[in-house]
Amino acid sequence: MTAKILIVDDEDMFREDLALLLSRKGYQCLTASSAEEGLERAAEFLPDIILSDIVMPGQSGIEVLEDLRRLNPECMIIIMTAFGALETAIEAFRKGAVDYILKPLVIEDVLNKIRRIVEQKRLMEEVRYLRRELNTDVGALSLVGQSETFRKVLQLIEKVAPQKSTVLITGESGTGKEMVARAIHDAGEKKDRPFMAINCSGFQESLLESELFGHVKGAFTGAIKDKAGFFEAVGEGTIFLDEISEMAVSLQSKLLRVLEQREFYRVGGVRLIPMKARILAATNRRLQESIASGVFREDLYYRIAVFEIPLPPLRERKADIPLLVEHFIHKFNKEMKAHYLGVAPDALTALMHYPWPGNIRELRNLVERAMILCDGRMLTLSGFPAQISENAQSPETNTRNLKEAVQAFERNFISRVLNECGGNKEKAAREMGINPSTLYRKMADLDIDPGASSNKSSR
């Protein structure tokens, strides 16, 4: 991006020379000789960065800081002064400045600060764009479903989203932990702020520390310039720490301090940086077992598990499979410019009987595969791998209508579970993860003979 820079300073030669130098470096520059003029220019120019002197006739650079921030919250303000009082720097930071430069300027230092800010703004724009793209995916992958077990998950999301509490999301791989984290973020008060997901198992310990906390120039070999970490760059947004159980114990202690004190140092730095982001975490492990084996801190567990959301595996919410399949067909129709109408009854029956060790992720991938391999308008068993077709059973009807096929499956499924439970409807409802009232309604809707499933085990 070509950054727009506004220079506010009452020294004419200094101001215009700096503007000329930055223009030669490719930046678009505008100048103002006073704080009042700077406000007017900022309103018209909407700069990305403002370099402002402190001591000027009329209003000072410090006095106008809050007005500049209200005018353009996205603008980054660097204060310049010949007087390096610590109190002045603190006041500038408190009112919204992001950096502080002493005069006479070291041009390379100025250029480095501007480059860092431009890069940070570029990354934030990318994050916002990617988040918007992900949010256009209908309902978010794992948030499609109407089973009783999944409705409980939705209720927990609804309860915790408006709060600032740390959330721990647990569940097997592929159950949609990141999508639940995104749903919490998108339903919260800071939904317009960035969402950043970090897979803790994808980094070495030292690299993960640098990515989270940032580092200062010279902190380690290869640290050629200052770098803001995710905790700093995300601002008041959300950090999602996926597979937090894989984080090294030494780094866990530093994370615990961040959560408790809400502040941190960059690697090699001496300046405390406030922590404004909300933390969400996830794991596919049983953390109590990790604590017992000494690979996860018990105090960190209690700090991140303020509010826990356990996600059921797909095999425990099979009633959602037809909806998920329909969702994925709709999604990939748009991506592939395809025109599939649904899935054949025998293929749907096979999908319903498969145990899904890879959960929703596996279902998504297999639907995508089938849409590449199949011809016609319906997904058939020929498009699915052998382990799926092995679960095929004869459907109750030859219909090609998805709704009728689902009803046929539900009729067989409920009848089978009722028989296995000896006709005990309350027990059968518990086994299927639904309320007894839901079971009675479905039996009526599907014309399942209640006399054939009398409550034999309640005698």
Mean pLDDT to the nearest integer, 383-404: 67
**Bridge-based pairing state of the strands 214-215 and 76-81:** unpaired
Mean pLDDT, the chain, rounded, equals: 84
Q: What is the pTM of this model?
A: 0.58
The pLDDT value given to residue 435: 81
By three-state DSSP, how is residue 377 classified?
coil
Question: How confident is the model over 281-295, as pLDDT tens digits?
Answer: 999 999 999 999 999
Is residue 233 within 8 A of residue 273, CB to CB? The reply is no
- Count of CB atoms situated within 10 Å of the CB of 432: 22
Confidence of residue 347 (pLDDT cuts 50, 70, 90): confident
By three-state DSSP, how is residue 75 classified?
coil
* pLDDT value at 271 more than 80: yes
Is residue 40 within 8 A of residue 17, CB to CB? The reply is no
Percentage of the chain lying above the pLDDT 70 cut: 88
How is residue 431 written in tokens?
Answer: 């086994």
Mean pLDDT to the nearest integer, 200-213: 88
Question: How confident is the model over 415-440, as pLDDT tens digits?
Answer: 777 877 778 888 888 878 788 888 88
Mean pLDDT to the nearest integer, 148-170: 92
* pLDDT value at 350 more than 80: yes
Mean pLDDT to the nearest integer, 150-165: 92
Mean pLDDT to the nearest integer, 391-404: 56
By three-state DSSP, how is residue 17 classified?
helix
Mean pLDDT to the nearest integer, 379-393: 82
The pLDDT value given to residue 1: 53
Task: Please report the domains of the chain, with CATH numbers, ordered by start residue.
Answer: 4-121 (3.40.50.2300), 137-312 (3.40.50.300), 316-453 (1.10.8.60)
Torsion of CA 45, 46, 48, 49, to 10 degrees: 70
Mean pLDDT to the nearest integer, 86-100: 76
Is residue 257 within 8 A of residue 251, CB to CB? The reply is no
Q: Given CA atoms 178, 182, 187, 191 in this order, what sign does their dihedral have? A: positive
How is residue 163 written in tokens?
Answer: 């709060």
Is residue 30 within 8 A of residue 58, CB to CB? The reply is no
353: exposed, middle or buried (Cβ count in 10 Å: 0-12, 13-18, 19+) = middle
